[in-house]
Structure 1
């Protein structure tokens, strides 16, 4: 894990990143960690002003998520706020607090389309233009330098870099992002990933992060690996699975995808995770225990991260008096479901 080799690339991980990798492996041996996007930044009817440390799930279950997800889209533009209007200064504060309390930090990145200068969901073809030799390669390097500057500024009280999981360019087998299916070839995507990792390390000195590769729901092993950039450039294997339709459809996808993912991870000797998941508004009262946990318990995943609580019409974790909150308390009490207090001593 510490050294990774390809024909032209070697990366030496910072010991903190190696420690995080080992910790993730040990967590998977005990169960799976519960994660939530933007958990401590805001929730239903509240926003953090930087002086508090709270979360909706903490208010419901008495403990914070073990995995804290944050979004850095628009850091590439030099903006002061991310694409969800969260100040980057607040994200820095919450990353440091979460790390100090023993949490695991993940960063997602939805960069704007570098050709159209519109959102990540604007699918004008762009990947070929930002690859080495492309007309916008220098622009992309400038964007990536801002990503690296932000990540390098995430340090603990001793000034040491905080290790974290970086998950760029996810759901590439779907067609909704400019880096997705139909907007670049698998080979172009692989080049983008490899060049990104190489630039982060060789140009910008980022050696304390782990990279997670996470397609959307897939049909078979071949689809999962069709955009895979190579073992040397990926640390953690993931998949994003949401319940968009029926419970039966969702649980079938969960079982099939995690089974295939587990097989691939075993072959490659890498940890794996449910990197995004959820049911919007958690409309099923016993969703956490009967639907979710029933189908991922003891599956070998290291964590399951649920999307953000933006507003009453768009939330993926419970808040006080939400329909699934009573079931979530039961979910929290399951011995294999790990929250912040459960993982802080796992090393």
Structure 2
């Protein structure tokens, strides 16, 4: 994929607020792009194809299993968009294990809506019951002897663990049968000591139990699993000593908890392990910034951990990430590996019935943008809704004059500049508004006039008819 797909999102847009200052914004078309049934190879190929160019947004949804979309909904509440990657968990408490089907059903829904799917598993230790509390069940230490028994065939602990894995297989088969590939991330943070499988480097440690699970799940026909290997950003390093090998890992990922964002050293260490495989930030609490995405461009996706979405980020920080031009959200992922041409057509005022027009079809910088009677096929009203959030006519962009954040600032035509926030527009198909997020103001026909030649400006969003538009696509 070399350009962002402009297939649409089903969701309504975000209501802009004055003073919102995201660096850039992506357009939100009108209908969601569903995924057809696919194979794991399709997802791996896609992640490879976007590496260095795009990154998929992701949001985890932790327990309870009865609310498997609670945090992705919060993303939508803030941004008007859903993540390009939905994250769930096979969980550990009794009531959540009993509700695993809700998680699987949500995964199917998310895939159908145009989001990739990832699952992790906070599994109870085989030394405790099949259900457990996090403390003492998942977050617990077992002896080296116990761990070796778990990974040694014929022992009681090994049989217990195989039974636990067997319980998960039917759920993952449902996703296979539905054509839903899963970014499967077991034994996450295996270089940490908080979990029962962790802090065991070398061939007989975390790598071995990971290999054994893959071998077993492969034998069960789970060829829809994209195997995601994971460590945490522990400054002790040595992450490669936990790696199960290129034949076992499809994606190499990092959880970022020692700091807000991965350091340059963290990034380089992961890339060194991965080689040509896709890499990802599988868990983080702080939204990535534009500078992080620019300096570490090979992450293929990031996933914010559940409650950290609102607990560790402002609404502006969340919007900034989701509106970044390199970030792919739900409906913007083209698993076909191709590109769709950006839609071109008229921006039509709902109240006036007139079209957004470049005065005199003049392509000079500073040319006024106005309302005018809609023509047939003229170039002055042919606006291309580009993948970077701009609207373009005559080879130039719809621009907030001087980048002035004030009611009444006129709209003009100007040379398109990559990443210019004053040339970015966010369309809300529900409210029919075009918002410039750099100012938080809406595209407005001056004085609520509807006559030819009425200048366009930005103005505080007020839901009146002179701020309502239909757009291409």
TM-score of the alignment, normalized to the shorter chain, above 0.5: yes
Match of 1:192 in 2: 209
Q: 2:218 corresponds to which residue?
A: 201
Contact kept, 8 Å, 2:199 with 2:206, in 1: the verdict is no
Aligned to 2:240: 225
For the residues of structure 2 that align with 1:136 and 1:294, how far apart are their CA atoms? 47
Shift of 1:48: 4.4
2: CA distance between counterparts of 1:53 and 1:224?
A: 30
Q: Structure 1 stretch 205-214 or stretch 187-196: which is displaced more?
A: 187-196
SS of residue in 2 equivalent to 1:262: helix
* CA distance, structure 1, for counterparts of residue 166 and residue 110 of structure 2: 24
The normalised TM-score by structure 2 is: 0.56
Question: Partners of 1:264 and 1:25 in 2: how far apart?
Answer: 15
* Structure 2 unaligned regions, length at least 5: 1-36, 130-135, 338-473
In the TM superposition, what is the alpha-carbon distance from 1:230 to its structure 2 partner? Answer: 1.1
Offset of 1:328 from its aligned partner?
Answer: 2.3
Deviation sequence 1:23-72 (CA, Å, 0-9, x none): 12123243111101018x88xxxx7499x996101111111011111010
Relative to structure 1, the CA distance from residue 18 to residue 185 in structure 2 (aligned partners, 3 Å threshold; closer, same or farther) is closer
Moved more, 257-266 or 173-182: 257-266
Q: By how many angstroms is 1:294 displaced?
A: 1.7
Shift of 1:260: 2.1
Query: Which residue number in structure 2 is paired with residue 113 of structure 1?
Result: 125
Structure 1 residues 93 and 237, CA gap change in structure 2 (3 angstroms): same
Equivalents in 2 of 1:103, 1:193: separation in Å? 26
Deviation at 1:346? 5.7
Would the alpha carbon gap of residues 58 and 15 (structure 1) be closer, same or farther in structure 2, given more than 3 Å must change?
A: closer
Mapped partners of 2:198, 2:216: distance in 1: 21
Asked whether the 8 Å contact 2:214–2:248 carries over to 1, the reply is yes
**Matched residue of 2:82: which SS?**
coil
1:338 aligned residue (328, 333, 342): 328
Q: Distance in 1 between matches of 2:241 and 2:68?
A: 43
Does 1:210 pair with 2:226? yes
Cα deviation, residue 187, structure 1: 1.9
Pair 1:104 & 2:116 matched: yes
Would the alpha carbon gap of residues 317 and 323 (structure 1) be closer, same or farther in structure 2, given more than 3 Å must change?
closer
The answer as to 2:285 corresponding to 1:294 is no
**Alpha-carbon offset, residue 185 of structure 1:** 5.9
* Gap change, CA 1:174 and 1:186, over 3 Å in 2: farther
Contact 1:272 1:300 in 2 (8 A): yes
Instruction: Show the counterpart of 1:272.
Output: 279
Once the two structures are TM-superposed, the CA of residue 95 in structure 1 deviates from its matched residue by 0.5
Structure 2 counterpart of 1:73: 91
Tell me, yes or no, if structure 1 residue 59 matches structure 2 residue 77: yes
Q: Sort the Cα spacing of 1:262 and 1:220 in 2 relative to 1 into closer, same or farther, 3 A.
A: farther
Give the structure with higher Rg (CA).
Answer: 2
TM superposition outliers: structure 1 runs of 4+ over 6 Å = none
Q: Which runs of 5+ in 1 are unaligned?
A: 1-13, 280-287, 309-314
CA distance in 2, matches of 1:132, 1:333: 49
User: Larger helix proportion, structure 1 or 2?
Assistant: 1
Partner of 1:285: none
Note if 1:148 corresponds to 2:148. Answer: no
Task: Tell me, in whole angstroms, the C-alpha distance in 2 between the residues paired with 1:161 and 1:177.
Answer: 32
**Shift in alpha-carbon separation, 1:323–1:272, aligned structure 2, 3 A:** closer
Using the alignment, how far apart are the partners of 2:72 and 2:206 within structure 1?
Answer: 38
Q: 1:113, CA displacement in angstroms?
A: 1.1
1:180, distance to aligned residue in structure 2 (A):
1.0
Q: CA deviation at 1:197?
A: 0.7
| Pairwise CA distance, 1:19 | 0.9
In 2 relative to 1, CA 161–331 (structure 1 residues): closer, same or farther, beyond 3 Å?
closer
CA distance in 1, matches of 2:206, 2:313: 41
Q: Does structure 1 residue 256 correspond to structure 2 residue 254?
A: no
| Cα distance change, pair 240–81 in 1 and its aligned pair in 2 (3 A) | same
Q: Would you say the 8 A contact 1:241–1:254 is kept in 2?
A: no
CA distance in 1, matches of 2:175, 2:123: 20
- Ranked by relative contact order (alpha carbons within 8 Å, sequence separation 6 or more), the top structure is 1
Taking structure 1 as the reference length, what is the TM-score of the superposition?
0.75
